[in-house]
Structure 1
Amino acid sequence: MALTILVQHSNRELREHAAAVLEAAGMAVRQASDGTQGLAALETAPVDVILTGINMPQLDGFGFIEAVRGRDRLRAIPILVMAVSATPELKTRARNAGAAGWLPHPLDPARLVETVRIVTA
């Protein structure tokens, strides 16, 4: 059965690029433009992995990660952060919020697919 991935990011081009790469690798993809839409999407159907941006309107990536980790039925879903800035402080904050990993922009297609597969193994 194909993995289902939620890709959420306020940058439509980045979000659609990540979705296209994952779909080409045989994964099913759902998209959201911010954390509020992402949480709503998680209420309608389960996913295997979440990819999230950080700087998003309504509910940013850190707030989203904390909200997911605060819900028992969602707590175990691996979350990967996609962001341009990869400062140690941001990575630590993401890890402390509950992220499983970090994917820098621009996304490397092979690394994206490999990382998703690793966190679901």
Structure 2
Amino acid sequence: MAKRVLVVEDNELNLKLFCDLLRAHDFAAEPVRDGREAVDRARAFQPDLIVMDIQMPHVTGYELILEIKADETLRTIPIMAVTAYAGREDEDRIRAAGADAYVSKPISLARFIQAVGALT
């Protein structure tokens, strides 16, 4: 059975790239364009991993990580942040919020898949 990955990304090109890349590596990818829908979609999809952008409109990735980690049914799902925030303190802040992994944009496709594989 394919591992399930919920991808939360507001940029259409990045969302398509991440989902296509995951599917090419035999993952079941579920796209979410709006962070406000992510928690409900995660409950319905029950992913093995959540990949999310940090800089999104309406709800930030930080807020979303905190909400997911506070949810009884979702808190054990690993979260991988994929973001343009590339400084060391950015990574520390993202991990402190509860993210299990951090990949900076622009992404290396090989590093992205390696990080996904390490978390699933």
Q: TM-score range by the shorter chain?
A: over 0.9
Extract unaligned runs of 5+ from structure 2. Answer: none
Q: Could you list the per-position Cα deviations for residues 42-98 of structure 1 after superposition, in whole angstroms to 9, with x for gaps in the alignment?
A: 121200001110111121100000000001111111101111121122111111110
Q: Which runs of 4+ in 1 moved over 6 A?
A: none
- 3-state SS of 1:55 partner: coil
Report whether the alignment pairs 1:103 with 2:103. Answer: yes
Give the secondary-structure state (helix, strand or coil) at the position aligned to 1:107. coil
Matched position secondary structure for 1:29: strand
Fraction of identical pairs, as percent = 28
Q: Which residue of 1 aligns with 2:52?
A: 52
Q: Deviations over 1:29-50 (max 9, x none)?
A: 0011232111121121200001
User: How many residues align structurally?
Assistant: 120
Counterpart residue type for residue 23 of structure 1: R
Secondary structure of the 1:26 match is coil
Structure 1 unaligned regions, length at least 5: none
Partner SS, residue 62 of structure 1: helix
SS for the counterpart of 2:99 is coil
Asked if 1:40 is matched to 2:25, the reply is no
For 2:26 and 2:113, how far apart are their aligned partners in 1? 10
When structure 1 is superposed on structure 2, of 2-11 and 31-40 the one drifting more is: 31-40
2:71 match: 71
